[in-house]
Chains A and B, each alone.
Chain A
């Protein structure tokens, strides 16, 4: 195991995480500005649980709303980018450990990636 190549993988992960958070925060902020600028009507009721509107309950729904320039869909899209950031970090792990010929940790990264995917395919 070479410490130097490990360090390079760590640095790449760090930069990727920072980049992902920055982009996601900008998208959420842009959506937020649009939302507050154009919001009319009564304050939504957050005191009792009735679920989020169906359009924001799936990746597909959020991407569809994005096409119609809906401000809440834009905020939700920023949130999706945020969720995608650590997932990308795991993908970095799969690629990085494979390049380092570290089979054990490439397999560990693939396992974590599969568990993460389960969260998105499982339904209520």
Chain B
């Protein structure tokens, strides 16, 4: 294959990955890494390097819109970034110590979890009986726009949320993904923040989390310019188109189909990792 046709093939696949990532709400990273490894037979470390860069692009590109809409909470986001960035440094450090096959198996498990989490129906959170004192001290509160006014909220279980954020950061650094599914779990399920606040604040944090691993990835030699170029541009374009479709279209069936694709990719990653062919 020539460099030109290879680049075009990777670019096209990255557009699809970005589209799929936006429509399932999982982000492009979890889709493009298995595609690069399984379809293009690219080394896992190069794949997660290219993916990490694309994750920074999509997070920053979309954060602009989210921040303007007033759903994301920058205080909660920045405080929890202390946990995700330390986790990301640890995860990026581990990539050099753990074999590609093992990373592949962990990747597959995260894919399966993410697919399940994105399909799960989230029941509306019951209102907290009394405000969390740590949350009040940290000013973990806010309001977000709802129909005909504003809804107030206060975070719960801050230490547990902080701990899960460290895990989210470690997975991000280890796998070159945004790990939005785990970040949303920490805020929505554990800290009991409104779902929209959780997803947008998660997206707000993804870029900074990924930037924490980027320096180590660079010095480890994971970021190849020639490979990262079509991946970044493709995933960015795909996710921008995907988020437009998301606003306009009825996507429930589409989401189910795509989640099945994610499950298949996850199973394939686990299988390849276990047989030692990554």
Interface residues of A (CB under 8 A from B): 1, 3, 6-7, 9-11, 13-15, 17-18, 20-21, 24-25, 28-29, 31-32, 35-36, 39, 43-44, 46-52, 56-59, 72-73, 75-76, 78-79, 82-83, 85-87, 89-90, 93, 104-105, 108-109, 111-112, 115-116, 118-124
Residues in B with CB closer than 8 Å to A35 are 225-226, 229
In angstroms, how far is the closest chain B Cβ from the Cβ of A65? 10
Contacts known (A21-B236, A79-B225, A108-B79); A32 close to B230, Cβ less than 8 A: yes
Interface residues of B (CB under 8 A from A): 1-4, 6-7, 40-46, 49, 53, 56-57, 59-61, 63-68, 70, 72, 74-75, 78-79, 81-82, 85-86, 88-89, 92, 96, 100, 138-139, 143, 207-208, 210-216, 218-230, 232-233, 236
Is there an interface contact between A82 and B224, defined as CB atoms closer than 8 Å? no
Report the separation of the CA atoms of residues A94 and B74 in the bound assembly, to the nearest whole angstrom. 12
In angstroms, how far is the closest chain A Cβ from the Cβ of B52? 9
Contacts known (A21-B57, A123-B219); A49 close to B233, Cβ less than 8 A: no
Is there an interface contact between B224 and A56, defined as CB atoms closer than 8 Å? yes
Is there an interface contact between B82 and A108, defined as CB atoms closer than 8 Å? yes
Residue in B45, B49, B208 whose beta carbon sits within 8 Å of that of A112 in the complex: B208
Is there an interface contact between B78 and A109, defined as CB atoms closer than 8 Å? yes
Is there an interface contact between A56 and B41, defined as CB atoms closer than 8 Å? no
Contacts known (A14-B64, A39-B3, A46-B227); A86 close to B74, Cβ less than 8 A: no
Is there an interface contact between B56 and A86, defined as CB atoms closer than 8 Å? yes
Report the separation of the CA atoms of residues A43 and B64 in the bound assembly, to the nearest whole angstrom. 37
Question: Which B-chain residue is minimally distant from A15 (CB atoms)?
Answer: B64
7 pairs of A and B residues whose beta carbons are closest in the complex: A51-B221, A119-B215, A14-B67, A18-B64, A86-B207, A120-B215, A75-B225
Is there an interface contact between A79 and B232, defined as CB atoms closer than 8 Å? yes
Is there an interface contact between B56 and A47, defined as CB atoms closer than 8 Å? no
In angstroms, how far is the closest chain A Cβ from the Cβ of B208? 4
Report the separation of the CA atoms of residues A69 and B221 in the bound assembly, to the nearest whole angstrom. 21
Report the separation of the CA atoms of residues A17 and B139 in the bound assembly, to the nearest whole angstrom. 25
Question: Which B-chain residue is minimally distant from A80 (CB atoms)?
Answer: B218
Question: Which B-chain residue is minimally distant from A83 (CB atoms)?
Answer: B214
Residues in B with CB closer than 8 Å to A31 are 225, 229
Is there an interface contact between B63 and A14, defined as CB atoms closer than 8 Å? yes
Residues in B with CB closer than 8 Å to A1 are 139
Is there an interface contact between B60 and A20, defined as CB atoms closer than 8 Å? yes
Residues in B with CB closer than 8 Å to A75 are 225-226, 228-229
Is there an interface contact between A72 and B225, defined as CB atoms closer than 8 Å? yes
Is there an interface contact between A43 and B1, defined as CB atoms closer than 8 Å? yes
Is there an interface contact between B75 and A89, defined as CB atoms closer than 8 Å? no
